[in-house]
Copies of this chain bind each other. A is one copy, B any other.
Amino acid sequence: MTAEIIDGKAFAARLRGEVAEQVAVLKRDHGITPGLAVVLVGEDPASQVYVRNKHKQTLEAGMESFEHRLPAETPEAELLDLVGRLNADPAVHGILVQLPLPDHIDAEKVIAAIDPDKDVDGFHVSNVGRLATGQAALVPCTPLGCLMLLRDRLGSLSGREAVVIGRSNIVGKPMAQLLLRDSATVTIAHSRTRDIEAVVRRAEIVIAAVGRPRMVTGDWLRPGATVIDVGINRIEDPEAGKTRLVGDCDFESCAAVAGAITPVPGGVGPMTIACLLANTLTATCRAAGLPAAEGLTA
| Given A186-B187, A188-B186, A199-B185: A194 in contact with B129 (beta carbons within 8 A) | no
Instruction: Report if A91 contacts B (CB, 8 A).
Output: no
Kindly list chain B residues whose C-beta atoms are within 8 Å of the C-beta of A125.
125-126, 129-130, 133, 135
Question: How many copies of the polypeptide does the oligomer hold?
Answer: 2
Which chain A residues numbered 123 to 173 have a C-beta less than 8 Å away from chain B?
124-130, 132-135, 158-159, 161, 167, 169, 173
Q: Choose one: B128, B158, B169, B190; the contact of A183 (CB below 8 Å).
A: B190
Task: Compute how far the CA of A176 lies from the CA of B190 in the bound complex, rounded to whole angstroms.
Answer: 14
Task: Compute how far the CA of A124 lies from the CA of B108 in the bound complex, rounded to whole angstroms.
Answer: 19
Instruction: Report if A192 contacts B (CB, 8 A).
Output: yes
Instruction: Report if A79 contacts B (CB, 8 A).
Output: no
| Given A125-B129, A125-B133, A128-B132: A185 in contact with B190 (beta carbons within 8 A) | yes
Show 28 A/B contacts (Cβ-Cβ < 8 Å), sorted by A: A125-B125, A125-B126, A127-B129, A128-B128, A128-B129, A128-B133, A129-B130, A132-B169, A132-B173, A132-B177, A133-B169, A133-B173, A134-B169, A158-B192, A159-B192, A159-B193, A161-B194, A161-B199, A167-B180, A173-B180, A183-B190, A183-B192, A185-B188, A185-B189, A185-B192, A185-B194, A187-B187, A187-B188
The 4 closest A-B pairs by CB, nearest first: A125-B129, A129-B129, A128-B129, A187-B187
